[in-house]
Amino acid sequence: MNSAVAAARMILTRLHEVMASRLHVQGKLNQVVDIIGESLDSEVCSIYLLREGMLELFATRGLNQSAVHVTRMAVGEGLTGTIAANVETLNLAEAAAHPDFQYRPETGEEKFHSFAGVPIVRRERAVGVLCVQHVEPRRYEEVEIEALQTTAMVLSEMISNAGLVDDDAMGGINPTLSGPELASGLALVKGLASGTAVFHQPRVTIEHTVAEDIEAERQRVYLAFDKMREQIDKMTGQAEFGVGGEHEEVLATYKMFAYDEGWSRRINEAIDSGLTAEAAIERVQQRTRMRMRQIDDPLLADRMHDLEDLANRLLRIVSGQLGTAAAKGLREDTILIARNLGPAELLEYDRRLKGVLLEEGSLTAHVVIVARAMGVPVLGRVRGLRGLVREGDPLLLDADAGTVTIRPSPTVIEAFEARFAKSKERQATYARMRDVEPVTRDGVRVNVKINAGLRDDMPLLNLTGADGVGLFRTEFQFLVSATLPARERQTRLYRDVLDAAGDKPVVFRTVDIGGDKVLPYLRHDDGENEENPAMGWRALRVALERDGLLKVQARALLEAAAGRTLNVMFPMVSETWEYDAAREVFQSQIAYLKRQKKSLPEAIRYGVMLEVPALAEMLDVLIPKVSFISIGTNDLTQFLFAADRANPKLAERYDWLSPSILRFMRRVVREVTGHPVDLAVCGEMGGRRLEALALLGIGIRRLSITPAAVGPIKELVRQVDLGEIGAAMEGWLAHPPASMRETLRDWATARGIDCD
């Protein structure tokens, strides 16, 4: 046993004695502050508990005893209130320097400098705060903070047994919840749903924290680990959504955590220190949460959710508090509510869900990728969600608009149902458009392809009747993997994608990582954070520097496309030599495969994304070298306007329909016309009807768009006369109107063209 474990054990043994003693609860609290004060060599140790909505000083060693039950503060007030409000630990060498510091004269605390405090948590809410103060300014060490956190767990049990704090704070449902509420969040998977709120899982409440028999606790945790691993293996083996989807990689990462020896070792150490199996799991999870919080990396945060998912599963097994909502008989119209979900947890519900609402969640989270494969709309980042909704509440989820209405009024329900019916009708119309050719009124066939990035997107090719995949974002595989995907894995994905596409072409874009798409396993050599990542070390710039990356991908693509046509596209080409260099990497791999007598693609077509304006000045040099060019308007417009595409303050400022963008692209169209080079647009712009109309007007005949837009765009194309819109656009671009958008919309409306 190491010394930290031994020290923790000593504290726990003493706390255990206090808990088991016949003292009244106030006497027990008085003893606890003495034990902690002595063990941490702190002049002050205090316990604040939530009573009647206020944090009240219940026991102290070191502050004036006359302040006990007198000093009270609101949640959010002072350092103690801040700890309770944020349910977060504070560790400060100089308390007075913290912006939330408030001095309470009755306590006599002015002589103390350092301060550390931890929340006392019950059912995820703070029901009190345990803190220590010290005369000398120093930060408390990690082991000391951990001792405080462990003590806070024991205190949580003690005060709950004694019925000491507010019932509401103990996790009771807020009785004032009634009447409609509208909450907004981030649309993670789009769609509409009407249903009933079902909580995924009330968190396991830990009833006993201090172990009676350490060996028995160790056995319990061993058995629970075995059972959990068995469950995960079974789940990964029978995931219903086909073998080989992205979720397979997701589950592989998940499995890696389940078998992580470090994790089980840390839990065992916590048991050695005297905690029960449940408390040990929670203790280790708290520590991990705290560490991860210090790392500001969204990808790591997503992995953290997987780990939370597993820790909860382990807790449920060990405590016998089984049963998420998935295990019980689920209502037909369930909209699931959770803080966050792990991918495996979501898979347990298979396709029975109408929708999912999360307090957390992000676009790159594994659970979102799985939800997309399941076709379940997800709204994430709904703040305070679980405080707004009660189990069984009726909900209207509008992930398209990024909102959810809780307990809607009859008028809201009526409006929603009308919208829902319209959306279903539209979907049906678009489904019927599947076999309809996008031919303009004057007989020109427009090429409409889809943008994709996952294996699970491929069925959409047939469902929409699109002409192929105009942009396959290969970096998605890299983003959902815990480690750099090995070549065989890449080959397997590309081959599956080509198989799924059949005769239709697929344009594979080589990895566009770096910039904002940071991979934890691929960092800049000097480890620096970029100030301006969109214009930084990304895409081909990374791929050419990390030669191995592109080489491996080239081999994977060439092998996957053996005997077929391979379309390769390079992103973020800024100068033509970058294109030459990337192509050279492919050439050398071809030479290698030839030497190995391996079969090669029947034909290889190379192309570039036109996203960096500088490249447009070099089209005369570029055109003879390429088979196709695809304009990436998402990036192109951010560079043309010098406006970060991810900055919400600028989201509405510049219009895709501005004459400058349209003139720029028209120039490109003119230069390419007459050459055997396919020119397409593959940014989001092409999937919107009014914008697509403008693109047709400047001579674009190929679009690659989000799959949901294929139906609407086909419908548009069939209403348009290219001669007419071309002439109108010429006039507007020669003499730009005050608002191109308004002008274009009026023009379309006058001709009965629906552009919404």
Residue from 635, 678, 691, 715 binding Mg ion (CB under 5 A) = 635
Residue from 355, 408, 607, 632 binding ligand PEP (CB under 6 A) = 632
Instruction: Choose between 318 and 471: whose C-beta lies nearer to ligand PEP.
Output: 471
Inter-residue contact 491 to 560 (CB < 8 Å): yes
Told to check if 633 binds ligand PEP by CB under 6 A, we report: yes
Only one of the segments 18-26, 199-207, 634-642, 712-720 lies at the binding site for Mg ion (rule: CB under 5 A); that segment is: 634-642
> Which of the residues 121 through 140 are near Mg ion (CB under 5 A)?
none
Q: Residue with CB nearest Mg ion?
A: 635
Angle CA(626)–CA(628)–CA(633) in degrees, nearest 5? Answer: 120
Q: Residue 682: which of Mg ion, ligand PEP, none does it interact with, CB under 5 to 8 A by kind?
A: ligand PEP
Query: At its nearest, how many Å lie between Mg ion and the CB of residue 639?
Result: 10
Told to check if 683 binds ligand PEP by CB under 6 A, we report: yes
| Alpha carbons 151 and 562: distance in angstroms, whole number | 63
> Which of the residues 85 through 124 are near ligand PEP (CB under 6 A)?
none
The H or E element that residue 403 is part of is: strand 403-406
Told to check if 515 binds Mg ion by CB under 5 A, we report: no
DSSP characters over 197-254: EEES-PPPPP---B-S-HHHHHHHHHHHHHHHHHHHHHHHHT-TT-TTSHHHHHHHHH
Instruction: Choose between 200 and 538: whose C-beta lies nearer to Mg ion.
Output: 538
Inter-residue contact 392 to 331 (CB < 8 Å): no
Name residue 639's amino acid: F
Q: Residue 354: which of Mg ion, ligand PEP, none does it interact with, CB under 5 to 8 A by kind?
A: none
Only one of the segments 2-10, 158-166, 423-431, 632-640 lies at the binding site for ligand PEP (rule: CB under 6 A); that segment is: 632-640
Query: At its nearest, how many Å lie between ligand PEP and the CB of residue 644?
Result: 13
| Alpha carbons 616 and 575: distance in angstroms, whole number | 10
Burial (CB < 10 A; 0-12, 13-18, 19+), residue 627, is middle
| Alpha carbons 403 and 395: distance in angstroms, whole number | 10
Query: At its nearest, how many Å lie between ligand PEP and the CB of residue 497?
Result: 17
Only one of the segments 55-63, 478-486, 587-595, 631-639 lies at the binding site for ligand PEP (rule: CB under 6 A); that segment is: 631-639
Q: How many residues bind ligand PEP (CB under 6 A)?
A: 10
Residue from 61, 473, 583, 689 binding ligand PEP (CB under 6 A) = 473
Instruction: Choose between 473 and 714: whose C-beta lies nearer to ligand PEP.
Output: 473
Query: At its nearest, how many Å lie between ligand PEP and the CB of residue 585?
Result: 21
Residues comprising the chain, all counted: 756
Sorted by sequence, the CB contacts under 8 Å of residue 527 that are 6+ apart come out as none
Instruction: Choose between 95 and 569: whose C-beta lies nearer to Mg ion.
Output: 569
Q: Residue 340: which of ligand PEP, Mg ion, none does it interact with, CB under 5 to 8 A by kind?
A: none
Instruction: Choose between 407 and 517: whose C-beta lies nearer to ligand PEP.
Output: 517
The H or E element that residue 679 is part of is: strand 678-681
Told to check if 512 binds ligand PEP by CB under 6 A, we report: yes
| Alpha carbons 207 and 320: distance in angstroms, whole number | 12
Told to check if 611 binds ligand PEP by CB under 6 A, we report: yes
Told to check if 682 binds ligand PEP by CB under 6 A, we report: yes
- 66: β partners: none
Neighbours of 3 (CB within 10 A): 8
Query: At its nearest, how many Å lie between ligand PEP and the CB of residue 513?
Result: 10
Most distant pair of Cα atoms in the chain: their distance: 94
The three-state DSSP-derived secondary structure of 367-393 is HHHHHHHHCCCEEECCCCHHHHCCCCC
C-alpha dihedral sign at 493, 499, 500, 501: positive
Q: Residue 683: which of ligand PEP, Mg ion, none does it interact with, CB under 5 to 8 A by kind?
A: ligand PEP
Name residue 711's amino acid: G
* 600-629 footprint of Mg ion as x/- string (CB under 5 A): -----------x------------------
Instruction: Choose between 164 and 682: whose C-beta lies nearer to ligand PEP.
Output: 682
Only one of the segments 8-16, 277-285, 400-408, 628-636 lies at the binding site for ligand PEP (rule: CB under 6 A); that segment is: 628-636
Burial (CB < 10 A; 0-12, 13-18, 19+), residue 499, is exposed
Query: At its nearest, how many Å lie between ligand PEP and the CB of residue 481?
Result: 18
| Summary count for the chain: helices (H), strands (E) | 27, 22
Query: At its nearest, how many Å lie between Mg ion and the CB of residue 685?
Result: 12
Q: Residue 191: which of Mg ion, ligand PEP, none does it interact with, CB under 5 to 8 A by kind?
A: none
Instruction: Choose between 107 and 477: whose C-beta lies nearer to ligand PEP.
Output: 477
Neighbours of 459 (CB within 10 A): 13
| Alpha carbons 278 and 260: distance in angstroms, whole number | 18
The H or E element that residue 285 is part of is: helix 277-293
Q: Residue 37: which of Mg ion, ligand PEP, none does it interact with, CB under 5 to 8 A by kind?
A: none
Residue from 81, 632, 686, 707 binding Mg ion (CB under 5 A) = 632
Told to check if 686 binds Mg ion by CB under 5 A, we report: no
Only one of the segments 266-274, 455-463, 584-592, 630-638 lies at the binding site for ligand PEP (rule: CB under 6 A); that segment is: 630-638
Torsion-angle region of 665 (φ positive above 0: left; ψ -120 to 50: alpha; else: beta): alpha
Provide the binding-site residues for Mg ion, judged by CB under 5 A. 611, 632, 635
Residues engaged in binding ligand PEP (CB under 6 A): 471, 473, 512, 611, 632-635, 682-683
